[in-house]
A and B are shown apart, each in its own frame.
Chain A
């Protein structure tokens, strides 16, 4: 994944083994369909992703972790840029902590348990177990390498000793559903502590999609129908701790997302609007990266890719006028273009 400025606008294929490991369900829904249709995963190399990758290459990892935030209009390619960057980190051998969509944690919760660790907080066992499973698939080599530093007590009879491999911790979380959220918290704490140490031989990439969910409102309600603040959810609380800058040896890459966010107007896409005051203050020293619609060259290359894969069946779409029509109708928005070409 050594891409440079020259490769802007070109597609590169991700090997399918990587895809299976990295993104068990990290890719956006439409893109997954496209992958299945074309039988390969192709991402376009675009300017924002290249910027972040170059920063990652040059960054000094003894300093506190840098925060990168992708923002842009709806459908302009933020999630895919994030996936591109994450893939880069994976190929460099980093540990990847990928949260596909933080919005899933603050809405449509089917089970809510009061936390065993702290009485004021709430657990979400389902989401926690899914995440732990994905984490296990993504970071298999690291699970045996990293050892826990502390002793964690789950119930009266179960405890994890200090010095046991991370894999055991994760398995514990997957098997004991009730304490899975606490396991998640423990995993995050361990990783945070260990990557800050100068002797650590791995770097951590925290990739969160839809980071504005952590500081927004949630639709989850308690038994007595009062709303739950995201702070009171264990998962969100632990993730927020990770987002703070107090650890080093890695990078935090995030995206904003209006699509899943609750109670935000549809036209909002700037960080300040979507994160809110609290969120903005917590994320404050960050590097914003704007993701625009396709430029002319990028559009060209996307169009050629679709023609190459015989995706555009209609005879008129192959002509010049057809291309102009596509430009007009989609206004060079990637997701719009994809939807348009879907039925051509």
Chain B
């Protein structure tokens, strides 16, 4: 609000300087007036809450975004017509390289619909009368949805009664194929309706939907039901299986890498028939005298049941004893993927053999002794 006023004042001033002198005393008067009122308005700003984005404001932002997108495409030397969001992200990362760890703190340029939270347009006309008939309930979209839903339930029941009268009622009708989907969560429903709902309301909504589903002939309202369901992504592997290469002697082998904490490792798994393992040129019995590390190495092979079949040639660097063993384990499991079928690979993923362990040493913070440990608390 204050910004608008200042801008307004600046534009007026500009006009005032160029314009004729009789307007001068008026502008000066206005300037003084604005200065006076802004001090009074400052208190109200704090109470008003966050700035409301008017639809005109959002429209203007969208136009500016489009123009900016074209400018950016020109700058990068690319086609302004087919410049999509991925290209924008790429160009921004190139033009403004940032070393910040928090991805949300880096510079970004996105469509205003994604940046500004969705707000509802003004719900009443110039005469003060609200547009929607359920406005005075407070949660108009929620109640309108429930009303619509109940109307559909009654519709289905009427249809069923009609069929019963004719004697054509049957329970074996086309059921809605839900597939692997779930109901919208409370947060998603709130987002859809652009208003807050309590848990109680959400439960009632789900109850009514379930009731509708359980009725026969619910296929009449299939489209409405599916609108409120979310597809579950099948958690399949997004792993890249390393390719199986053939050696000069005709032996199959595959290479893979793995890391854990600060260790990096690379493993070549050969399908020879002996179970010998070499790490950095040394025998693994000497490199890992501790049983625990050797068990870590054994885990992927034992899980797939291919213990004595492969010949492993590994190199590992960095980190300590345990992290090197973990890095090697990941590399071995990844290399084994190419020797093993899809189902076994899925089993390995579920066993956690293919997940990169994200745990890294946490940084020490100032004012504390360690990452979490605080200094000894003294009462006085």
Contact = CB atoms under 8 A, between A and B. Distances in A.
Interface of A: 73, 266-267, 321, 324-325, 327-331, 333, 336, 340
A325 B302 contact: yes
Contacts of A333: 285
A325 B298 contact: yes
Nearest to B297: A328
Contacts of A328: 275, 294, 298, 301-302, 307-308
A73 B301 CA distance: 26
18 contacts: A73-B283, A266-B286, A267-B282, A321-B302, A321-B307, A324-B308, A325-B298, A325-B302, A327-B275, A327-B308, A328-B298, A328-B301, A329-B294, A329-B295, A329-B298, A331-B283, A331-B285, A333-B285
Contacts of A324: 302, 307-308
B307 A325 contact: yes
Contacts of B39: none
Nearest to B282: A267
B338 to A, nearest CB: 21
A331 B307 contact: no
A14 B277 CA distance: 36
Given A267-B286, A324-B302, A328-B308, 5 more contacts: A321-B302, A325-B298, A328-B294, A328-B302, A328-B307
B284 interface: yes
A327 B308 CA distance: 9
Contacts of B284: 331
Interface string B285-317: 110000100110010011001011000000000
A119 to B, nearest CB: 45
A167 B301 CA distance: 61
Contacts of A321: 302, 305, 307
In the A-B complex, list the 9 residue pairs whose CB atoms are closest, starting with the nearest.
A324-B307, A331-B285, A328-B298, A329-B294, A324-B308, A328-B307, A333-B285, A328-B275, A325-B302
Contacts of A73: 283
Contacts of B294: 328-329
A336 B285 contact: yes
A283 B277 CA distance: 35
Contacts of B282: 267
Nearest to A340: B291
A99 B302 CA distance: 44
A117 B283 CA distance: 49
A330 B285 CA distance: 7
A278 B282 CA distance: 28
A329 B291 contact: yes
A329 B302 CA distance: 11
Nearest to B309: A324
A259 to B, nearest CB: 13
Interface string B216-236: 000000000000000000000
Contacts of A325: 298, 302, 307
A325 B302 CA distance: 7
A266 B289 CA distance: 11
Contacts of A327: 275, 307-308
